Chain A
Amino acid sequence: MADLSLAAPPPRPRSALRRLMERRLALFGLLLIVLVVGAAVLAPWLAPYPPQEQLFDGLTLEGAPLPPDGRFVMGTDLLGRDLFSRMLYGAQTSLIIGVVANGMALLIGTLVGLTAGLFRGWIGSALMRFTDLMMAFPALLLAICLAAIFKPSLWIVALVIALVNWVQTARVIYTETTSLAERDFIAAERTLGAGTGRILFHHILPHLVPTIIVWGTLGISTTVLLEATLSFLGVGVQPPTPSWGNIIFENQTYFQAAPWLVFIPGAAIILLALAFNLVGDALRDVLDPTQRGRD
């Protein structure tokens, strides 16, 4: 009998990283992420004004915002605040929500998927039926209802997004777990008397890591978009905390007179979501053996 653990070697991380770096689009994505993270971390030093400060001379006498110029590089918003400073701090919000909400969603999804995949009795089928149910839920309506129940704050918004977004991950993890659990080497381990814990930690989880990484990256993009949409509808992050979505919400009635107030944060959201999509997609190609060589 051959060494069972060699039957399906877990992917080696180093070569995966190298293959990732060979992709130009992925590199571009990574660069964007570094840029946004840099902006978020350095916001206190980069921002010319406090993001909350409603500058006395930030509005015209009629109460209109100021267009971009030498003093306000991105102009001011409808309360006379410096848009550039708000954009920098908004990056913090987007990233915190992106990472936290997505982390929670990943955790819930993985737990549900794993449990359902490992315990294939009534627990598993109950969990998967619940997942099916959540798949059919109009996501945004669900998120809006949840946001109304918990008074929204930064962390609650993250939680709401997680409660809506875990479903995809759960499905993928479930499918992978069941297919892994049916593989010969696991069955053999079981006959050799290995406990569920050993099988889980030694054989299943390591094989799930690539999937989790891929979904974790792609999921950040979805999360960033959902946060922006919730904030755009006024049920997201609470003012005066800036988020790119609520900057657009606050200023959208002015989008004809002051398009910069809508399109600068709009472009930022697209770029950040794009960055995570590019990296996530490249990771999938690199890490997921079933996808490899498809084109």
Chain B
Amino acid sequence: MKKWLVSTALALTLALPAAAQDYTPDPNAKPGGTITITYKDDVATLDPAIGYDWQNWSMIKSIFDGLMDYVPGTTTLRAGLAESYEISPDGLTYTFKLRPGVKFHNGREMTAEDVKYSLDRVTDPATQSPGAGFFGSIAGFEAAGPDGLSGVEVVDPLTVKITLSRPDATFLHVMALNFASVVPKEAVDALGSDFGKQPVGTGAFRLGEWTLGQRLVFEKNADYWREGVPYLDSVVFEVGQEPVVALLRLQNGEVDVPGDGIPPAKFTEVMGDPAQAARVVQGGQLHTGYITLNVTMPPFDKVEVRKAVNMAINKERITQIINGRAVPATQPLPPSMPGYTEGYAGYPYDVEGAKKLLADAGLADGFETDLYVMNTDPNPRIAQAIQQDLATIGIKANIQSLAQANVIEAGGAGTAPMIWSGGMAWIADFPDPSNFYGPILGCAGAGDGGWNWSKFCDEALDKMAVEADSLSDPARAEERLKLWSDVYMGVMEKAPWVPVFNEERYTMKSERMGGDDALYVDPVSIPVNYDYVYVK
């Protein structure tokens, strides 16, 4: 306790800038109402340790809370279930003070034991969580198992101390991930694997009903610990709806937000009608579509060849094929990501230059290779556009259009010379530049089965990345971002990827929906932040 008092001043300076920047509730917002959201694919699970899909990510965010959270509509961290936290000067110890009186949907009060249990559970290999790897910096992670993490300690019922084995500047973001959501032990024990179908959390909504493969209903949590929210009485999710159908139903007023966005086939029509276009909300997305070039497979082991491919791709035309719903990319990071290098133009589209580079590499006559792609529209189409571009510099790329799982397998095993990432592309888990490096460009992911499909591994860049992430002192955030920017510039120098475009999000809302536009293109809670939108 003494240490706590002593370090309070430090904690205040280091932390909680969020208090100042927190969300100002919309003065026009009024409670009540039900909205309908549609999705094409089924919702797999609402277990926060397991769920990792487009559809369930935002749903889980509304049913559960973690220690940290984001200011709605932004990428700014704010406190969640933690009322305050402090970071030790060496950046290795995080002490979270919990909000008192927060209740789970089952009525029990949430305590520090629950926080420890939840972190122990997500890292326990028996849970099979796809997010376990995010917690790698917590002490004792390697030995995680039924006995829990040694680095997570319950100090008192409202205090949790987490010790790291190495400084990790992204740790607060990790605590805001769905995987770090706090779950009640008794509910998980009682339901076992079915917890994902009958979730119990502390979030703004509770699960009302779930008809598998058809619909889910979220009901307002009247005891929600944040004042005044949520506004909506309930949210209905209808699954199995084709995006085109969803949009037509939205035009009929039956749907409020199409979860899969505006389908390409309807895009021109919607944008051409001023009344409809007014209800379209556009926003950036932490997404990059890229082609991976396997640096271990000749001729892509030659940097000239990789640069030539970069220069041969007509990114403007590819964005045209997807109706201009993206901006051509210059680098791995999307423009809205901190650490993005402003002013870097990337490789120019220069067919002659590309041919010259190929000739320099001794491949003036080109070569034959394979381009792997996931077999759902529009990816095979984009692959064909890439194929045509490559043909202009003499590269004959045969398209292998396969199911997602087969492409991932080929990428992980390193048997695919080129992969178009569409449909499996990296969308950031949290708004931090480090999230675009480790698994997909760093040495850690380059092993057999990893997601680094280029098998690109540059020790020097890896070292810079580690150095950047150890700068956990918020005061050195700028320095850290500069370092990350350098890492990605180093990546571009070696050209293991062709960054093709950054997808823009175009979503649409029904006439009656209220709330800031930013809530509809929330970078974290996609497609919409359910807790803060309202019905006019």
Contacts known (A250-B380, A250-B381, A253-B244); A238 close to B400, Cβ less than 8 A: yes
B320 at the interface (CB under 8 A from A): yes
B384 at the interface (CB under 8 A from A): yes
Q: How far is the CB of B289 from chain A (nearest CB, A)?
A: 16
A256 at the interface (CB under 8 A from B): yes
| B324 A239 Cβ-Cβ under 8 A | no
**Docked complex: A246-295 residues within 8 A CB-CB of B:** 249-250, 252-258
Contacts known (A54-B388, A234-B376); A148 close to B406, Cβ less than 8 A: yes
Closest to A258 in B: B265
Closest to A77 in B: B381
| B399 A238 Cβ-Cβ under 8 A | yes
Q: Which of B266, B324, B377, B399 lies in contact with A240, CB distance below 8 A? A: B399
Q: How far is the CB of B497 from chain A (nearest CB, A)?
A: 22
Closest to A235 in B: B375
Closest to B372 in A: A151
Q: Which residues of A contact B400 (CB under 8 A)?
A: 151, 238
A61 at the interface (CB under 8 A from B): yes
B401 at the interface (CB under 8 A from A): yes
B323 at the interface (CB under 8 A from A): yes
| B401 A238 Cβ-Cβ under 8 A | yes
Closest to A144 in B: B403
A62 at the interface (CB under 8 A from B): yes
The contact string, 1 if C-beta is below 8 Å from chain B, for chain A 139-177, is: 000000000100110000000000000000000000000
Q: Which residues of A contact B364 (CB under 8 A)?
A: none
The contact string, 1 if C-beta is below 8 Å from chain B, for chain A 62-75, is: 11100000000000
Closest to B376 in A: A234
Total number of B residues with any Cβ neighbor in A under 8 Å: 31
| B385 A79 Cβ-Cβ under 8 A | yes
The contact string, 1 if C-beta is below 8 Å from chain A, for chain B 390-417, is: 0000000011111100100000000000
Q: Which of A63, A78, A239 lies in contact with B401, CB distance below 8 A? A: A239
Q: Which residues of A contact B376 (CB under 8 A)?
A: 234
Q: Which residues of A contact B399 (CB under 8 A)?
A: 238-240
Question: Complex Cα distance A151/B401, Å?
Answer: 8
A40 at the interface (CB under 8 A from B): no
| B321 A234 Cβ-Cβ under 8 A | no
Q: Which of A64, A78, A148 lies in contact with B403, CB distance below 8 A? A: A148
Question: Complex Cα distance A176/B260, Å?
Answer: 55
| A254 B265 Cβ-Cβ under 8 A | yes
Q: Which of A62, A152, A234, A238 lies in contact with B268, CB distance below 8 A? A: A62
A36 at the interface (CB under 8 A from B): no
Q: How far is the CB of B511 from chain A (nearest CB, A)?
A: 23
Q: Which residues of A contact B383 (CB under 8 A)?
A: 239
| B380 A63 Cβ-Cβ under 8 A | no
Q: How far is the CB of A143 from chain B (nearest CB, A)?
A: 13
| A240 B321 Cβ-Cβ under 8 A | no
A52 at the interface (CB under 8 A from B): yes
A33 at the interface (CB under 8 A from B): no
Q: Which residues of B contact A78 (CB under 8 A)?
A: 321, 378, 381
Q: How far is the CB of B75 from chain A (nearest CB, A)?
A: 30
Question: Complex Cα distance A106/B406, Å?
Answer: 31
Question: Complex Cα distance A256/B269, Å?
Answer: 11
Q: How far is the CB of A235 from chain B (nearest CB, A)?
A: 7
Q: Which of A61, A63, A240 lies in contact with B387, CB distance below 8 A? A: A240
The contact string, 1 if C-beta is below 8 Å from chain A, for chain B 253-282, is: 000000000011111110000000000000
| A64 B381 Cβ-Cβ under 8 A | no
The contact string, 1 if C-beta is below 8 Å from chain B, for chain A 82-104, is: 00000000000000000000000
| B324 A63 Cβ-Cβ under 8 A | yes
Q: Which residues of A contact B378 (CB under 8 A)?
A: 78, 253
B322 at the interface (CB under 8 A from A): yes
Report 29 cross-chain contacts, Cβ distance below 8 Å, ordered by A residue: A52-B388, A54-B384, A61-B320, A62-B323, A63-B324, A64-B268, A78-B381, A79-B321, A79-B384, A148-B402, A148-B403, A148-B406, A151-B402, A234-B401, A235-B403, A238-B399, A239-B383, A239-B401, A240-B384, A240-B387, A249-B377, A250-B380, A250-B381, A253-B244, A253-B264, A253-B265, A253-B377, A254-B265, A256-B265
- Chain A contacts to B: CB under 8 angstroms: 52-54, 59, 61-64, 78-79, 148, 151-152, 234-235, 238-240, 249-250, 252-258
Given A148-B402, A254-B264, A257-B268, 13 more pairs with CB closer than 8 A: A59-B320, A59-B321, A61-B320, A63-B323, A78-B381, A79-B384, A148-B406, A238-B400, A239-B384, A240-B384, A253-B244, A253-B263, A257-B266
